[in-house]
Structures are given as structure tokens and as C-alpha cells.
Amino acid sequence: MITVDMLASDTVRHGFFTREGGYSTGIYAGLNTGLGSRDDRDTVLKNRSHAAASLGVSHEMLVTPYQHHSADVITVTKPWEPENWPKADALVTKTPGIAIAVNTADCTPVLFSDPDAGVIGAAHAGWKGAVGGVTDQTIVAMEALGAERGNIRAAIGPVISQTAYEVGPEFHARFVEEDPSNARFFVPSERETHFQFDLPAYVETRLRAAGLEHVENTGLCTYADEARFFSYRRTTHRGEPDYGRQLTAIALSA
């Protein structure tokens, strides 16, 4: 489990979990917490319980949304059963004892905290969610709970790096049409008309543009570090049938 000093406090527990440890085997080997994977469900639930215990909460108090690459944010006041998970790509709460979390396997996990207001957030920002404003909407939802934008801290967890993220011309065009300055997040790849996209830099820029003064990027690449991270793109390149997901979670002490 990876932690960031900026988020650490007496009232907040958090972790960017790796694939290390856990009970899954085969292509899911390690701590696969993705209920959307085709891994054995009971094993995934056991992995989630292990992660919850690391945060000091029971497995019933760990909640994740059904992620669909949106800018949708849910304010959590009580836990839900995994079978009844609502669709969203970010969660916020001010309720102690609940661990809010997202799963990723190349997309950007972002944790938020305003320790003074006692408000936290967790967001899953793939490129669609990032350009759609999922981090901006997370901040707005936190403010609705009493957080102050100037006090919110945000940490970017393990995510696919620019050297591993090749995209086509249509992808590049969409971002540049959205904002010409987005061209700075692309460099030409070895293939003609293709580019390498810097997703974590784009997300960090969005966070700072939203007015956050305290932003930290762990700088860890999910694609490059197979020993520690699952990666959707690495799995795709290998022609494997599925992939595991790693958990990113944050909780207020009860």
C-alpha cells in the first residue's frame, strides 16, 4: 500500500493499493479488488476485506461505485452492498468510518482531503472522465459538504505513463479541439500520426487549474511495473482475456 505524506493526518487514512499480497491467482495474481473482473467473486471479496482491514474499517464499510468513465459524483452517507453499487466515477463523504474507493488498471486514481473540514473524496479519471471534468465535479461535491477549495489536498496515484500510452490522431484531435493548449500533453510516437499522451500531467493540470494549491503526483506507472500493478493496456498487448484492478481508498476515522 502506497501512502502520501500530504494526505496523512490523525483523522484520515488512505492508500493506493498495489497488486501485492491478496489471494487471487493466474492473471489476477495478487490483490485484485475488481468486482467487474472475471476473477472468482469470493476471492475478490476476500481481497477487498483485506484492503478494508488495512484502512481500519470492516469490509461492509468499504464502498466502490460502478465506474463508467463519467464525471458523475456520489455523496456517500452510508455503505451499500456490492450488488447494488451505483454508477459514478467519484465518491465524496464527510461520514466517519466509511472507506470510499475506486478501482483502476491504468486510469488515474485521485484522492482528495480537506482535513480541517473533515471531507474526503476519491475519483477514477480515465481520459474520458478527465476531459469530462470528473476531478472538477469532485471538488464541487466536496465544497457542498463544507470543504474549502484552498484547503483541499489531492494526490495522484499509480497511472499509465506517457511513454506507455500511445494514442491515435482522433484522440489527439479531440483534446486539441477542446483546448489548443492541450497539445503540450502529447509528443509524437514512433508510428506516423500517432502520439504519446501524458494522462497524469493532464489530470494534475486540471486539478491546479481548478484552484487546488496542494497537489502531489506519485509518478508511478502501472504499465511499466508489472510486479506491483495491474494494467489494462499491458493485458491488451499480450492478448490476455481479462485483467485485475487495484484499489485506491480513503477514510475518515470513526
For residue 206, give the 3-state DSSP assignment: helix
User: pLDDT means per 10 residues in the chain (254 residues)?
Assistant: 94 97 97 97 97 96 97 97 91 98 98 97 98 98 98 98 98 96 97 97 98 97 98 97 98 91
The predicted structure's pLDDT at residue 40: 98
Q: Which residue has the cell 486514481?
A: 109
C-alpha 98/C-alpha 252 separation (Å) is 7
Nearest to 204 by CA among 248, 162, 251, 146: 162
Q: Provide the pLDDT for residue 70.
A: 98
Report the distance separating Cα 248 and Cα 65, nearest Å. 12
Q: What is the DSSP string of 40-96?
A: -HHHHHHHHHHHHHHTTS-GGGEE--B--SS--EEE-SS---GGGPPB-SEEEE--T
What gap in Å lies between CA 74 and CA 121, rounded to an integer? 10
User: Would you state the pLDDT for residue 83?
Assistant: 77
Closest CA to 158 of 17, 14, 52: 17
| Number of residues in the chain | 254
First to last CA, the chain: 21
Domain spans in the chain, listed from the N-terminal domain onward: 5-159+214-252
Contacts for 5 with CB less than 8 Å, ≥ 6 apart: none
pLDDT at residue 171, as a whole number: 97
Has domain 5-159+214-252 been given CATH number 1.10.3720.10? no
pLDDT the model gives residue 82: 82
Among residues 63, 118, 45, 119, the alpha carbon closest in space to that of 249 is found at: 63
